[in-house]
Amino acid sequence: MACIQLTAFLAGQSAVAFKWGVADCATLAIGWADEATGGVGLAAWAGHYHDEASCAAFVAGYGGFAALADRHLGRHNGIGRAEAQAVGNIVHCLYGGVEVMGVRSSADMVSLRSARGLVHSRMALVLNEWGVTCRK
C-alpha cells in the first residue's frame, strides 16, 4: 500500500484541467513524487515547455522520457529505478501509442493525466518504473 494517501492525492488531481507544462502527465508524476518524498521536483520542472512541440523537444534533449526521469527524479526526489512494481511508483508507459508518465495506482492500474483529464487505465504498457520511498 502506498504511503501518504495516494488515493487522496489523485482525488485532488481529478478536477485539474490538462495544460502543457503545468498540469500534464509529467507534472502529475512529479507532483506525486514531491508529495511522497518532500522533494522539489515540480518547481525545478516548471517553465521548460508550454505545448506539445516544446515538450517533445525538451524530452528529446535529454534522450527520452526514461533518461529525463532518471536524471530529474534522482536529482530532485532521490528516486531511482524500481526493482519491483509497487503502488505509488512513478511509471513511464505507452498509453494509446503515446509515451507518458504516470503513477502506479494499483497492482494492475496506472493513473495519468491526458487531454481528457485524469485517467486510470489497465491498458497502459509500463516500460520503466521508479521506486517511491515515502518520507513517512
**pLDDT tens string 79-114:** 999 999 999 999 999 999 999 999 999 999 999 999
Distance CA 45, CA 26 (A): 9
Can you give the pTM of this predicted structure? 0.92
Distance CA 51, CA 39 (A): 25
Q: Looking at the predicted structure, is the pLDDT value of residue 1 above 50?
A: no
Task: Answer yes or no: is 46 within a domain.
Answer: yes
Task: Answer yes or no: is 109 within a domain.
Answer: yes
Dump pLDDT digits (tens) for 56-81: 999 999 999 999 999 999 999 999 99
**Cβ–Cβ under 8 Å, residues 103 and 111:** yes
Distance CA 136, CA 126 (A): 26
Mean pLDDT rounded to a whole number for the chain: 92
**Cβ–Cβ under 8 Å, residues 38 and 135:** yes
Domain count within the chain: 1
pLDDT computed for residue 44 by the predictor: 87
What nine digits make up the cell of 56?
517533445
Q: What domain range is 66 assigned to?
A: 16-130
